[in-house]
Structure 1
Amino acid sequence: MIEAIGLTKRYGNTVAVRNLSFTVKPGKVTGFLGPNGAGKSTTMRMALGLDNPTSGEVRIDGEKYRDLKYPLRKIGALVDPKWVHPNRSARAHLAWMARSNGIPGRRIDEVLDTVGLNSVAGKNVGGFSLGMSQRLGIAGALLGDPEILMFDEPVNGLDPEGILWIRTLMHRLADEGRTVFVSSHLLSEMALTATELVVIGRGELISQCSTTEFVARASDNSVRVRGPHLPQLRRLLAGTGARIDDFSDDAGAALIVSGMDSERIGEAAAANGLVLHELSPQRGSLEQAFMQLTGDSVQYQSDLDGNAPDRVLATGNN
């Protein structure tokens, strides 16, 4: 489990993280979301002891990172895939990490096989592509077989096959009862990967809840209705205060009813003898919910002519 408790980080006059508290529990993939400049990477760096908080703390299963005797056995992390010395081979890099934490050498081949780098294990990492570097970083995170894993933008540089692979890997790790905490700007991918979310903006907590709850909270309650009596249904529902919009596609005409759930619509239609062929709740997307709930936390917005920066870094940290 990861616990952030009243976490604050200042860089001069800039507050990157402000009184941030949240908990990441085992057995789930928890997504860490926020606009650029929200403080995600800074928070992760403080969790790993790479940056010192101005106040507050992060606990890793109840301990600070610096107090862990063999940290790689407790928490594995991918923060910067390019930090490896370019003249080291992938195997040598992992061997150095293993020796520093008393990890058996046989584990090196196991993680190289897991991330698909066995064939290039003897090559210098300076020649690796970003995708290969990401895989090596993930191998390093897995090396100590830790209970807790933290990934900062793990799908950067991966092709679609690689993205599917890392998604499947994170689900498997969570299913094994591990704590999995992952940040990403790819909201469509997070919708498929994360069951829980921690969402921040300008260094402060906006929401911590399930992905389903986050989307539902920000989405209109709308239902798509089809049937042979749409004009009558429109008149019937008009007096309820619901918003009713016309919709048409290859399947034919429909009504989109907002502000009234499918049960109430179905009951009203049945009570008035109106036949329905479709009654489908419409679920919003994670991207729509994210834009709605974090809009006030974005420092820069694009203008209508596209001349202003769109969601650029508000500080040097994201």
Structure 2
Amino acid sequence: MVETMIELNGLTKKFGQTAAVQDLSFTVRPGQVTGFLGPNGAGKSTTMRMILGLDRPTAGTATINGKPYGELDRPLTQVGALLDAKWVHPNRSARAHLRWLAASNDIPASRVDEVLRLVGLSEVAGKNAGGFSLGMSQRLGLAAALLGDPKVLLFDEPVNGLDPEGILWIRRFMQGLAAEGRTVLVSSHLLSEMAQTADHLVVIGQGKLMFDGSTKSFIDRASEQSVRVRSPQLETLRDLLTTNGMTVREDKTDGNPALIVAGQTSDAVGELAGKNSLTLYELAPQQASLEEAFMRMTGGAVQYHGANLGGDVSVQKPMGGAL
């Protein structure tokens, strides 16, 4: 039996002389949420479209359960996808839209009301989808993705248009799908949300693979190791640290004067303070946020940059609309 997963091998897509995706290889495995990240224009949407057979690769392969999407029997029962929440006839009701999709793949009509209930749209099932808000359209797109009860799911910006309650709901929803043993690939520009949702990250830049590993290892790899330390003898501690060649800066983020010691471990700082009989109120290793780690790793792979403002302020925008 083939394990339910997505596999890319040397996947390449060129538009004329421009390579949108270059020799991309990675595997999305079941039982975890895999976040798909990259700066704007990195090739994420193109990659997802090739996985789903909507774009033909210039070279390489993208397979689902060991086969290209086009060779899957009743594909909605094997793969569910949400790429464009507004891909729906505006004059069809939510229920009619799902019934049409169900009929195309021999899915029982009874499944339609099941998925509408699952995503919280039962009360508006008879209303035209063209009048839905973006958040409601996202829920309808999720219902369509789940219609055939597939083992493989792809979501592109699934929290767009959702309020905080809806974002929390979909986070738990995706994690629940993964916990059932499904393969879940999701792209999002909300990096703080991915930090709480994804177990695994695939990061690309300019169409090339930059990282493939756990969320924690991504942050650790891209982060500068540092230590936050507080002491009633702060100035004495500062002098001691700098005298021993350590780089120190002030930190008042929580209102309590402290020092950030760059490139050091808590053991090294604590041992030095102890040898000199200094009292410490806090000694804590610091970890960068996913946003900071992402910016540090992908800064050189940003396709579009903002202009300088006022000559000395540079605005860089590696993330936008669809990551």
Smaller-chain TM-score bracket: over 0.9
C-alpha separation in 1, matches of 2:254 and 2:60: 56
2:28 maps to which residue? 24
C-alpha separation in 2, matches of 1:89 and 1:36: 34
Q: What does 1:235-314 align with in structure 2 at a 5 Å threshold?
A: 235-248=239-252, 251-305=255-309, 311=317
Q: Secondary structure at the match of 2:257?
A: strand
Q: Secondary structure at the match of 1:273?
A: coil
Matching of residue 178 in structure 1 with residue 198 in structure 2: no
Do the aligned residues in 2 keep the contact of 1:37 with 1:313 (CA within 8 Å)? Answer: no
- Residue 240 of structure 1 and its aligned partner are, at CA, apart by 4.0
Do the aligned residues in 2 keep the contact of 1:72 with 1:144 (CA within 8 Å)? Answer: yes
2:87 maps to which residue? 83
Do the aligned residues in 1 keep the contact of 2:82 with 2:155 (CA within 8 Å)? Answer: yes
Do the aligned residues in 2 keep the contact of 1:302 with 1:309 (CA within 8 Å)? Answer: yes
C-alpha separation in 2, matches of 1:140 and 1:306: 48
Alignment: residue pair count = 316
Q: Secondary structure at the match of 1:4?
A: strand
C-alpha separation in 2, matches of 1:61 and 1:6: 17
2:42 maps to which residue? 38
Query: TM-score, normalised on structure 1?
Result: 0.93
2:156 maps to which residue? 152
Matching of residue 220 in structure 1 with residue 259 in structure 2: no
Cα gap change, 1:70 to 1:244, in 2 (>3 Å): same
Matching of residue 129 in structure 1 with residue 133 in structure 2: yes
Which residue among 193, 196, 211 is the counterpart of 1:192?
Answer: 196
Moved more, 302-311 or 274-283: 302-311
Do the aligned residues in 1 keep the contact of 2:76 with 2:105 (CA within 8 Å)? Answer: yes
- Residue 310 of structure 1 and its aligned partner are, at CA, apart by 5.3
Q: Secondary structure at the match of 1:301?
A: coil
Matching of residue 58 in structure 1 with residue 62 in structure 2: yes
Q: Secondary structure at the match of 1:38?
A: coil
Moved more, 61-70 or 266-275: 266-275
Q: What does 1:106-125 align with in structure 2 at a 5 Å threshold?
A: 106-125=110-129
C-alpha separation in 1, matches of 2:131 and 2:253: 50
- Residue 278 of structure 1 and its aligned partner are, at CA, apart by 0.6
Do the aligned residues in 2 keep the contact of 1:27 with 1:178 (CA within 8 Å)? Answer: yes
RMSD of aligned C-alpha atoms? 2.1
Identity, in percent, stands at 62
- Residue 17 of structure 1 and its aligned partner are, at CA, apart by 0.7
C-alpha separation in 2, matches of 1:248 and 1:88: 56
